[in-house]
Amino acid sequence: MKQPHTHASHPAILKRLRKASGHLSSTMDMLEQGRTCLDVAQQLQAVEKAIQQAKKALIQSHLDHCLEDLVGPLGVGQRHSLDEFREITRYL
Angle 26-52-19 from CA coordinates, rounded to 5° = 35
Q: Is residue 71 part of a domain?
A: yes
State the CATH number of the domain containing residue 44: 1.20.58.1000
Q: Is residue 4 part of a domain?
A: no
Q: Rounded to two decimals, what is the model's pTM?
A: 0.73
80 pLDDT more than 90: no
Q: Is residue 15 part of a domain?
A: yes
Rounded to whole angstroms, the Cα distance separating 28 from 12 reads: 25
Number of folded domains that form the chain: 1
pLDDT value for 63? 79
Using DSSP's 3-state secondary structure scheme, residue 68 falls into helix
Rounded to whole angstroms, the Cα distance separating 62 from 7 reads: 9
Q: Is residue 2 part of a domain?
A: no
The residue ranges of DSSP E strands in the chain, in sequence order, are: none
pLDDT value for 28? 96
Tens-digit pLDDT profile for residues 27-50:
999 999 999 999 999 999 999 999
Q: Is residue 25 part of a domain?
A: yes
Domain extent for 70? 10-91
